């Protein structure tokens, strides 16, 4: 009977730490946090999803099943760790904003919420360490998702997903045709970036009828041009009084817990500019990156 020799590594310890911190975060919040809103379900999902995925990665590696995995093991763990980092980071921001700031709860409920926030921050750090340890070094042969452009693709899709949440609750893109163009930019770039991530994880890039590396560079250039237009158009049509916009925060927002509709418009503008910067970095790296898809 073969014996599996499992040697502890820095990467394994980072995953175990992330596993522990996410488990504590969602357990404490679900047990005594008194979460009754949909936003509470979302943060619980962020922690539980990250925990479940990390557990699967650890079990596969402990049992030596990487070669039998239906996905590329050079790409999947680092991709998941990057998404988990962003999910836990989002939960670490949203949870205190909605469930600690301005709340009247005291005693054990507040203590549980503070503890969940702390462990969420620790989980974010653990996942960030995992991504740093898994990232491909210069000159190293690795899967595309372990390179900087691959990790940037994860960030692009995640930021676009957050934009979709803010732009659709309430719907804020159907007032002008220019805003509908912004929505089209977010959708088109999200779909293509997500397709690239899926192709890399599924090891299907070799089946494409064109050069994958050249496609990445061309797409990054197109995405930069499209996001540049959205970065300019969105603030103009949402904050300029000539287009029924408001450049100052409304009075009613002071009494709103979390983000009011105007805050969400600002968040969309900021996230659009952020994604533009991410696509610029992607373009800079993709233009000169030489990688081997394993």
pLDDT per residue as tens digits for the range 164-184? 999 987 788 888 899 999 999
Angle between helices 10-32 and 76-99 (to 10 degrees): 30
**Residue 106 vs residues 11, 99, 124, 155, 282: alpha-carbon distances, Å:** 39, 12, 26, 37, 46
In this predicted structure, what is the pLDDT of residue 267?
93
Q: Which of 124, 141, 158 is the last residue of a domain?
A: 141
Residues 6+ apart with CB under 8 A from 144: 75, 150, 200, 205, 291, 293
Together in a domain, 101 and 198? no
CATH of the domain at 78: 1.20.120
Together in a domain, 54 and 99? yes
Pairwise CA distance, residues 14 & 237, whole Å:
45
In this predicted structure, what is the pLDDT of residue 292?
43
**Residue 145 vs residues 55, 86, 199, 236: alpha-carbon distances, Å:** 20, 15, 10, 36
Together in a domain, 162 and 200? yes
Together in a domain, 172 and 58? no
**Which candidate, 276, 150, 146, places its Cα nearest to that of 212?**
150
Together in a domain, 158 and 123? no
What's the predicted TM-score (pTM) here? Answer: 0.90
Residue 250, token pair as written in the block: 């409304």
Side-chain-facing half-sphere of 13: CA atoms under 13 Å: 5
Backbone angles phi, psi at 171, to 5 degrees: -65, 125
Instruction: Give the pLDDT means over successive 10-residue stretches in the chain (294 positions).
Output: 60 95 93 76 93 95 87 92 96 86 71 91 97 78 83 96 90 89 96 95 83 88 96 92 80 76 92 97 78 42
- Provide the residue range defining the domain that includes 241: 147-293
Number of domains in the chain: 2
Residue 47, token pair as written in the block: 């922690």
């Amino acid at each position: 009977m073969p014996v599996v020799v499992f040697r502890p590594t820095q990467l394994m310890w980072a995953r175990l730490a992330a596993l522990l911190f996410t488990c504590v975060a969602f357990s404490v919040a679900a047990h005594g946090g008194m979460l009754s809103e949909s936003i509470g379900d979302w943060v619980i999902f962020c922690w539980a999803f990250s925990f479940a995925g990390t557990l699967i990665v650890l079990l596969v590696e402990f049992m030596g099943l990487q070669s039998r995995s239906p996905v590329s093991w050079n790409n999947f763990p680092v991709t998941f760790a990057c998404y988990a980092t962003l999910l836990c980071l989002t939960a670490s921001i949203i949870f205190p904003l909605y469930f600690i700031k301005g709340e009247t709860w005291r005693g054990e409920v507040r203590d549980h919420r503070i503890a969940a926030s702390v462990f969420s921050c620790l989980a974010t750090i653990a996942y960030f360490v995992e991504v740093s340890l898994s990232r491909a070094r210069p000159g190293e042969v690795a899967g595309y998702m372990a390179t900087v452009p691959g990790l940037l693709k994860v960030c692009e899709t995640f930021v676009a997903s957050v934009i979709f949440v803010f732009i659709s609750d309430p719907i804020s893109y159907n007032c002008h045709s220019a805003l509908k163009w912004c929505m089209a930019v977010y959708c088109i770039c999200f779909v293509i970036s997500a397709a690239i991530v899926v192709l890399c994880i599924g090891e299907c890039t070799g089946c494409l009828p064109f050069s994958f590396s050249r496609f990445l560079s061309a797409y990054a250039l197109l995405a930069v041009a499209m996001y540049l237009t959205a970065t300019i158009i969105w603030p103009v049509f949402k904050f300029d009084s000539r287009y029924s916009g408001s450049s100052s925060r409304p009075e009613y927002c002071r009494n709103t817990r979390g983000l009011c509709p105007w805050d969400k418009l600002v968040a969309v503008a900021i996230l659009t500019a952020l994604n533009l910067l991410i696509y610029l970095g992607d373009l800079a790296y993709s233009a000169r990156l030489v990688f081997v898809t394993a």
